[in-house]
């Protein structure tokens, strides 16, 4: 009980203050929809389960990291879950075969090995689970627990050598692990093993220990937990106000100084007083439980009230009511070739008098599906789509994309013929250079080949830009956040020229979204045309398909 009481005094007070102040800032800065998400994040972080929340909320369309104020608490959730179970595991080992035995050491080695191996068993298909969840992270924490059962390092030479190796491994982790590396993986051994070697107890003080014992480093060690808590939320709130996705060097320095100041105050006036209090373990745990429940109830209030829209004026509330993602709920495709490939399903052939079209692409094809189905109800529309996967031969990128389209082109397409094939994708992500080869291949299996160009993209989700008129923001000019538009226009013209001499119908999405150079931001129903940076809401997709029909797009 004393262990859990000390953990509660160490973790909960500073976490509670940071979460409540972040909620207060969110109530001023965030749109109702964003405040709902913050309320969810706060509730899960307070109960030590934010890693579970972010795992469940992760995916292709999940909010970007720089928009989630409490994203960093996922690692605290993993740690709390580990330290909830670790003493129980030690108690079980103690009563089964004793802790100071070879079998206990072997059991811990097995736990570390099993957790580490699970990374490679899960990372291919469950990469977000591997990143966020305890089973694939336990080995990192258990390595620290293992040191308790190992003898202290003896001999100055041995100690100095092992500490130096540990430091070099940490430096290697800093300079060698790339931002886009699969993590955790083999590269995770560098910081985990390096840290374990550095904190392995020694009988004699080493030079590296003397270095880390310098007053400035010891000071940052003391405030490290509060600095961890405060390094992220101020940055997210600033980026939200500034409507930006990155920081300049002066901004980075200013935010670091702010986080440092907040961390020092948190350590001095929150951490230290609570850690030194003399309240009994039972009262500490009971009080912690009650306080966490109250704080979680406060944070969940923002969820229950729909993000507290009453903070806004009447116009802001009316706009906020139309901000949520309008679900497409497409009718079932005549044949889902992705399911055919990945789940070995079968599709019935269309009858001779039915017009059969195939929609190919990524999420920028899928967001048009229901609108196309509604516009041409007599057409049998099949699909092969996957988020992030461009519909081209010799595809590159994600393994699942390459595998799906290679299988389609090599194994499925030769046995099928379509009355029309429609290609739609986020072409600015690359691979449009291969569209000529793709057209040559698909042309032998269809009477008509239709290519839809790259659509408009915003630097931030369009609903958030529209809400800027009613919230504290650096700017509320939507046009100021269309920096990609010149690049997209160039790409549109390039694709039009590239396909002009081929048997292809090309339709410019730029012209459909921005007729006469005036970009439409609302659908006729008053809902934003897109619900994020560039994916159409259902009413927006219907409007764009109608405009494409005015340009000649038709089935059959």
**What per-residue confidence (pLDDT) applies to 230?**
98
Buried b (16+ CB within 10 A) or exposed e, 28-60: ebbbbbbbbbbbbbbbbbbbbbbbbbbbebeee
pLDDT tens, residue by residue, 114-138: 999 998 887 656 788 989 999 999 9
Give 336's strand partners.
383
Q: Which of 86-100, 290-304, 443-457 comes out lowest in average pLDDT?
A: 86-100
- pLDDT for residue 485 is more than 80: yes
Q: Which of 266, 195, 255, 203 has the alpha carbon at shortest distance from 231?
A: 255
Could you tell me what percentage of the chain is helix, strand and coil, using 3-state DSSP and rounding each to the nearest 5?
A: 65, 5, 30
pLDDT tens, residue by residue, 126-169: 788 989 999 999 999 999 988 988 888 888 888 999 999 999 99
> What is the Cα–Cα distance from 60 to 268, expressed in whole angstroms?
41
What does pLDDT average to over the chain?
90
- pLDDT for residue 556 is more than 80: yes
Contact 412, 383 (CB under 8 A): no
The DSSP H or E segment spanning 18 is: helix 2-29
**What per-residue confidence (pLDDT) applies to 96?**
83
CB atoms within 10 A of CB 172: 14
Q: Which residue has the tokens 């299996």?
A: 445
pLDDT tens, residue by residue, 352-384: 888 999 999 999 999 999 999 999 999 999 999
Averaged pLDDT, 66-70? 92
480 vs 458, more confident: 458
Averaged pLDDT, 55-69? 79
- pLDDT for residue 76 is more than 80: yes
Contact 484, 457 (CB under 8 A): yes
Q: Which residue has the tokens 């007083």?
A: 273
pLDDT tens, residue by residue, 433-463: 778 889 999 999 999 999 999 999 998 889 8
Q: Which of 323-332, 337-346, 493-502 comes out lowest in average pLDDT?
A: 323-332
> What is the Cα–Cα distance from 239 to 29, expressed in whole angstroms?
11
24 burial class (0-12, 13-18, 19+ CB within 10 angstroms)?
exposed
> What is the Cα–Cα distance from 387 to 448, expressed in whole angstroms?
24
Averaged pLDDT, 83-104? 85
Q: For each of the domains in the chain, give its residue range(s) and CATH number, in order of start.
A: 1-152+203-311 (no CATH), 337-551 (3.40.50.1110)
**What per-residue confidence (pLDDT) applies to 61?**
54
150 Rama class: left (phi>0) / alpha (psi -120 to 50) / beta: beta
Look up residue 213 and give its DSSP letter.
T
Cα 344 to Cα 126, 331, 403, 407, 410, distances in angstroms: 21, 21, 14, 12, 15
**What per-residue confidence (pLDDT) applies to 74?**
96
Contact 358, 421 (CB under 8 A): yes
Is residue 377 helix, strand or coil?
A: coil
Query: pTM of this prediction?
Result: 0.86
Q: Convert 103-141 into a string of H (helix), E (strand) and C (coil).
A: HHHHHHHHHHHHHHHHHHHHCCCCHHHHHHCHHHCHHHH
- pLDDT for residue 60 is more than 80: no
**What per-residue confidence (pLDDT) applies to 167?**
94
Please give the structure tokens belonging to residue 340: 């055919």
**What per-residue confidence (pLDDT) applies to 233?**
97
Please give the structure tokens belonging to residue 382: 């099949």
Give 448's strand partners.
420
Give 361's strand partners.
385, 424
pLDDT tens, residue by residue, 227-286: 999 999 999 999 999 988 889 999 999 999 999 999 999 999 999 999 888 788 889 889
Number of H helices, E strands in the chain: 25, 5
- Binned at pLDDT 50, 70 and 90, residue 324 comes out as low
End-to-end CA distance of the chain: 73
């Amino acid at each position: 009980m004393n262990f859990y009481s000390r953990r509660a005094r160490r973790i909960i007070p500073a976490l509670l203050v940071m979460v409540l102040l972040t909620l207060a800032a969110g109530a001023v800065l965030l749109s109702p929809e964003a405040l709902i998400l913050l309320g969810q994040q706060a509730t899960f972080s307070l109960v030590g389960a934010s890693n579970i929340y972010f795992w469940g909320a992760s995916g292709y369309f999940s909010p970007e990291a720089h928009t989630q104020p409490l994203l960093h608490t996922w690692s605290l959730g993993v740690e709390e879950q580990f330290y909830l179970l670790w003493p129980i595991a030690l108690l079980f080992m103690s009563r089964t075969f004793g802790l100071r035995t070879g079998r206990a050491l072997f059991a811990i080695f097995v736990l570390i090995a099993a957790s580490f191996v699970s990374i490679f068993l899960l990372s291919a298909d469950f990469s977000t689970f591997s990143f966020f969840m305890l089973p694939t992270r336990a080995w990192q924490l258990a390595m620290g627990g293992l040191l308790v059962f190992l003898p202290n390092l003896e001999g100055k030479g041995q100690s100095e050598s092992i500490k130096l190796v540990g430091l070099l491994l940490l430096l290697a982790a800093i300079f060698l692990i790339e931002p886009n590396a699969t993590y955790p993986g083999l590269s995770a051994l560098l910081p985990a093993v390096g840290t374990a070697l550095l904190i392995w107890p020694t009988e004699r003080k080493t030079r590296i220990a003397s270095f880390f014992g310098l007053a400035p480093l010891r000071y940052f060690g003391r405030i490290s937990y509060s600095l961890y808590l405060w390094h992220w939320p101020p940055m997210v709130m600033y980026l939200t106000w500034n409507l930006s996705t990155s920081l300049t060097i002066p901004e980075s320095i200013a935010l670091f100084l702010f986080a440092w100041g907040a961390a020092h105050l948190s350590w001095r006036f929150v951490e230290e007083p609570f850690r030194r209090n003399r309240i009994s373990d039972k009262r500490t745990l009971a009080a912690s439980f009650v306080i966490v429940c109250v704080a979680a109830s406060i944070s969940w209030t923002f969820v229950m009230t729909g993000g507290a829209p009453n903070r806004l004026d009447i116009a802001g509330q009316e706009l906020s009511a139309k901000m949520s993602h309008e679900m497409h709920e497409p009718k079932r495709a005549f044949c889902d070739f992705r399911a055919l490939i990945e789940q070995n399903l079968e599709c019935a052939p269309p009858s001779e008098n039915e017009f059969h079209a195939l929609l190919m692409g990524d999420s920028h094809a899928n967001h048009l599906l229901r609108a196309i189905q509604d516009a041409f109800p007599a057409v049998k529309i099949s699909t092969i789509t996957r988020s992030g996967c461009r519909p081209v031969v010799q595809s590159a990128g994600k393994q699942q994309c390459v595998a799906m389209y290679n299988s389609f082109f090599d194994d499925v397409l030769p046995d099928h013929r379509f009355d029309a094939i429609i290609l739609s994708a986020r072409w600015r992500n690359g691979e449009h250079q291969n569209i000529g080869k793709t057209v040559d291949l698909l042309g032998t299996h269809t009477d008509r080949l239709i290519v839809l160009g790259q659509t408009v993209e915003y630097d931030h989700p369009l609903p958030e830009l529209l809400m800027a008129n009613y919230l504290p923001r650096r700017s509320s000019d939507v046009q100021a956040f269309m920096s990609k538009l010149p690049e997209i226009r160039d790409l549109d013209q390039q694709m039009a020229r590239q396909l002009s001499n081929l048997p292809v119908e090309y339709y410019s999405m730029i012209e459909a979204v921005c007729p006469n150079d005036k970009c439409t931001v609302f659908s006729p129903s008053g809902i934003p045309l897109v619900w994020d940076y560039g994916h159409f809401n259902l009413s927006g997709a219907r409007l764009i398909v109608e405009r494409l029909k005015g340009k000649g797009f038709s089935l059959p």
